[in-house]
Chains A and B, each alone.
Chain A
Amino acid sequence: MYNAGKIIVGLIIFVVFVTLPFIISGEKAKMKPEPKIDTPEIMKLPEAERKCVESKDFMKAEHMKLLNQWRDWVVREGNGTYVNAEGKTFLMSLQKTCMKCHSNKSKFCDECHNYAAVKPYCWDCHIAPKEKES
């Protein structure tokens, strides 16, 4: 092989360069997002009532669609009450209903949104609950 030294050194530099982002971020890249649902508001509720408006699996996958629907129902159709699959009723409001329980936007919303690199523009207008520094 001609110029073996140069080629091998070049290859090593190339491999290091390409894998640099993974080396630098290290374990952080592998960390899964863990949204926290242990806000004081939720912990205050009795065990049986610690339920979101729909099932956990549904909310995980479809909360963005549900929020869109809520928005249309409230703003455009003027219906304010949501009746869920179990027949329980809720006031449809991001600030007055969702964030009353999930008062930890940074640990609940941002946790996954940052991981998935999505930037929903909810908070351009809607006011996030004030979080206590801990």
Chain B
Amino acid sequence: MSIDRREFLKIAGLTSLIGVGGVTLSQGLKKVVEASQVKPNLEALTAKRWAIVVDMSKFKTKEDYQRCIDACHKIHNVPEIPNPKQEVKWIWTETYEHAFPGNEDEYLSEEIKHMPFLVLCNHCANPPCVRVCPTKATFKRKDGIVMMDMHRCIGCRFCMAACPYGARSFNWKDPRPFIKKENENLEFPTRTKGVVEKCTLCYERLAIGLKPACVEASNGGLIFGDIEDPNSEVRKILSSRYSFRRKPELGTGPSVYYVF
């Protein structure tokens, strides 16, 4: 059978019409989602760049530190793994010489030398972990939070090598057996074996209008606010007292400040 040019064009036109029509029909359902909208939560706390000031004068006893750590680790289902090589931590204490290497002085006062410093992810302005992540599992949000997307993490641990603060922990094994049943927060996920985790500055609490858990538990020891807002609480403290940060010489621009 032979067809002439006119026949061929007719058939081609008709087939493409059916094809296009079919695709449009099958996407009918999809349109429902496209018609839907998303918006930020009304009660969400927003900022140009979040920061935390650690007021060391408010931390006197061991409990003052532990309260913050427990509050964070409880609501985020952080496992308690006894083996220090496999431990997972979001916020913890460090000695002066470990937290601020290069600044230690031979004649440093004994008080400061042995004072534990509360340390956590610095939510850097220029985060090296974000730069090295091959899957963009860790990324910087518009409000300055260095965020983790656990769905994308492939556990390559480049970010752990890149982070100069040791703020990241790898899940060497399933963390679930190490979370106490009574401490489990059913409204927050756990992590799984083979992903890296760290402090997310309580993005889930900010979204519903609450300050980070550690700040809430600190009784004023941790001050949370927008560093780019000149009237914020953090800016008022930083403008009136001497502050210092961890390893600022690396150029990462940490957002966690310490004052005595």
Contact = CB atoms under 8 A, between A and B. Distances in A.
Interface of A: 54-55, 57-58, 61-62, 65-66, 69, 71, 73, 75-85, 91-93, 95-96, 121, 124-127, 129-130
A87 to B, nearest CB: 9
B186 A91 contact: no
B40 A85 contact: no
A126 B186 CA distance: 9
B40 A80 contact: yes
Interface of A is mostly: mixed
Given A78-B141, A80-B41, A84-B36, 4 more contacts: A77-B38, A93-B187, A127-B188, A129-B186
Interface residues of B, number: 33
Interface of B: 29-30, 32-33, 35-42, 44, 77, 139, 141-143, 147, 149-151, 184, 186-192, 203, 207-208
A96 B188 CA distance: 8
A92 B188 contact: no
A92 B40 CA distance: 10
A69 B150 CA distance: 15
9 contacts: A65-B30, A75-B149, A76-B147, A76-B149, A78-B142, A80-B44, A85-B36, A125-B150, A127-B77
Nearest to A54: B32
Nearest to A129: B186
Given A75-B151, A78-B142, A95 B32 contact: no
Contacts of B141: 78
A80 B186 CA distance: 18
Nearest to B200: A75
A82 B29 CA distance: 17
Contacts of B29: 57-58, 61-62
A71 B203 CA distance: 14
A69 to B, nearest CB: 7
A82 B192 contact: no
A81 B40 contact: yes
B59 to A, nearest CB: 31
Given A76-B139, A95-B187, A129-B186, A85 B41 contact: no
Given A58-B32, A124-B192, A81 B186 contact: no
A65 B186 CA distance: 24
Contacts of A79: 38-40
B38 A75 contact: no
A130 B187 CA distance: 12
Contact of B186 (A62, A75, A127): A127
Contacts of B33: 54, 58, 62, 65-66, 69
B67 to A, nearest CB: 24
A37 B203 CA distance: 32
Contacts of A73: 38
Contact of A75 (B147, B184, B187): B147
* Max chain A Cβ within 10 angstroms of own Cβ: one of B37, B150, B203: B37
Of B37, B38, B186, most buried by chain A (CB within 10 Å of CB) is B38
Contacts of B192: 121, 124-125
Interface centre among B36, B40, B150 (most CB of A within 10 A): B36
A91 B204 CA distance: 11
A126 B191 CA distance: 8
